[in-house]
């Protein structure tokens, strides 16, 4: 599984390990957001005997090839990506390198080494400014409004080509506005919680006239695990929406968060940002029929769980990670041996001297 130290990846890994699976988790622990949060997630996965961590960039082609050749994975869950709609507007090369070239590396590794089923993260952002709601997989998605959305749609098309050419089983999951404990600091719930607890203002875009299909991370993780459990199906290429299918007005989300934190928000109303869309709403009927599962965690329950975790992790008055993060420790250092061995194999295969390789080069696939 790639992106194992990321928000969704951590929760999926926990579920798989609890079911008795062995998981090799990849992540490059880059600094898109504070790596200590990623390390804290890994510290909770590390004690599981079935978990091994490999610090590696999915764009590091020689090391990825060596990994696939050595492990002969039966199932691949690809969750690593350069996240962020707005980030992609400001950093297009990082987005394209991670989400396009990184995905080619994953596809080729799976194809050449007999992976039975490749599951990968897509996004609700592929629907762009689609005015038809709820969004269904059969809808046209040829008008993305951000580079991030375009790369995710490109992933779907790339997977389709590999399924068509090589008979590879690929399943893309379009996630809808994931939130919950251990979330990403760049996402609205984390930013809002931090600002509310510090008495700072929050930015409310499109003057609050937005709706999101907020989906609790445990429901997302359960969906991924159920898709993995299905294994290879007669139809090799599938796409599914994974969402709560119950859009919530942004201002209602903020009100629910205020109640959970016990503090009012200071709102700063702003116009729509480039790349944003006013509404997301998932049609999940196909997903339900395939998995017998429908995400259903209520916003109130999910936000309460998130707020409890947030206060516990960052401190009751929102102590910053820079102040409190050291208590979580960096416990993954000894787990980097496999990545080092794989790099050594790749160096020998390509006839390169050790001194010509620089680990800093492996830094663009975001978890």
Mean pLDDT of 32-61: 96
Can you give the residue ranges of every domain in the chain? 7-179+217-245+281-296+330-361
Q: Quick: pLDDT tens for 275-326.
A: 778 889 999 999 999 999 999 899 999 999 999 999 999 987 664 544 333 3
Structure tokens at 113: 């080494």
Catalytic: 148?
A: yes
Q: With DSSP H G I counted as helix, E B as strand and the rest as coil, what are the percentages for the chain, rounded to 5?
A: 50, 15, 35
Task: Give the CB-side neighbour count of residue 153, counting CA atoms within 13 A.
Answer: 18
- What are the angstrom distances between the C-alpha of 350 and each of 65, 204, 316, 344? 12, 51, 52, 10
pLDDT over 80 at 337, yes or no: no
Higher pLDDT, 352 or 168: 168
CA dihedral 317, 39, 41, 243 (to 10 degrees): 90
The model's confidence at residue 51, banded by pLDDT at 50, 70 and 90, is very high
Q: Pick the catalytic residue: 87, 120, 127, 148?
A: 148
Topology annotation, domain 7-179+217-245+281-296+330-361: Rossmann fold (3.40.50)
Q: Tell me: the pLDDT tens digits for 143-163?
A: 998 899 999 999 999 999 999
Q: Does the pLDDT value for residue 112 go beyond 90?
A: yes
Contacts of 93 (CB under 8 A, 6+ apart): none
State the Cα–Cα distance between residues 341 and 162, nearest whole angstrom. Answer: 29
pTM for this one? 0.86
């Amino acid at each position: 599984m790639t992106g194992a130290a990321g928000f969704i990846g951590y929760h999926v890994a926990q579920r798989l390990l609890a079911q008795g699976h062995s998981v090799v988790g990849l992540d490059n622990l880059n600094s898109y957001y504070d790596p200590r949060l990623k390390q804290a997630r890994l510290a909770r996965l590390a004690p599981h005997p079935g978990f091994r961590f490999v610090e590696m960039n999915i764009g590091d082609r020689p090391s990825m090839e060596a990994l696939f050749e050595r492990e002969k994975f039966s199932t691949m869950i690809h969750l690593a990506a350069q996240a962020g709609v707005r980030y992609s507007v400001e950093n297009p090369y990082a987005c394209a390198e991670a989400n396009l070239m990184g995905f080619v590396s994953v596809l080729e590794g799976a194809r050449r080494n007999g992976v039975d089923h490749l599951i990968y993260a897509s996004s609700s952002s592929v629907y762009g400014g689609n005015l038809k709601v709820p969004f269904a997989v059969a809808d046209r998605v040829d008008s993305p409004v951000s580079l991030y959305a375009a790369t995710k749609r490109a992933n779907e098309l790339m997977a389709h080509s590999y399924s068509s050419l090589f008979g590879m089983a690929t399943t893309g999951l379009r996630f809808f506005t994931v939130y919950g404990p251990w979330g990403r600091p760049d996402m609205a719930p984390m930013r809002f919680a931090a600002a509310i607890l510090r008495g700072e203002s929050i930015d409310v875009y499109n003057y609050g006239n937005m709706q999101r299909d907020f989906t609790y991370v445990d429901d997302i993780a359960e969906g991924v695990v159920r898709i993995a459990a299905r294994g290879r199906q007669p139809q090799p290429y599938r796409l599914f929406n994974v969402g709560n299918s119950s859009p919530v007005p942004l201002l209602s989300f903020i009100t629910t968060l205020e109640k959970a934190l016990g503090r009012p928000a200071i709102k700063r109303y702003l116009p729509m940002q480039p790349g944003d869309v006013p509404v997301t709403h998932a049609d999940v009927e196909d997903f339900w029929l395939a998995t017998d599962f429908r995400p259903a965690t209520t916003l109130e329950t999910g936000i309460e769980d998130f707020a409890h975790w947030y206060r516990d992790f960052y401190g009751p008055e929102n102590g910053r990670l820079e102040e409190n993060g050291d208590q979580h420790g960096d416990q993954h250092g000894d787990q980097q041996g496999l990545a080092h061995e794989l790099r050594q194999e790749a160096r020998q295969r390509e006839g390169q001297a050790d001194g010509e390789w620089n680990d800093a080069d492996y830094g663009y696939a975001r978890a």
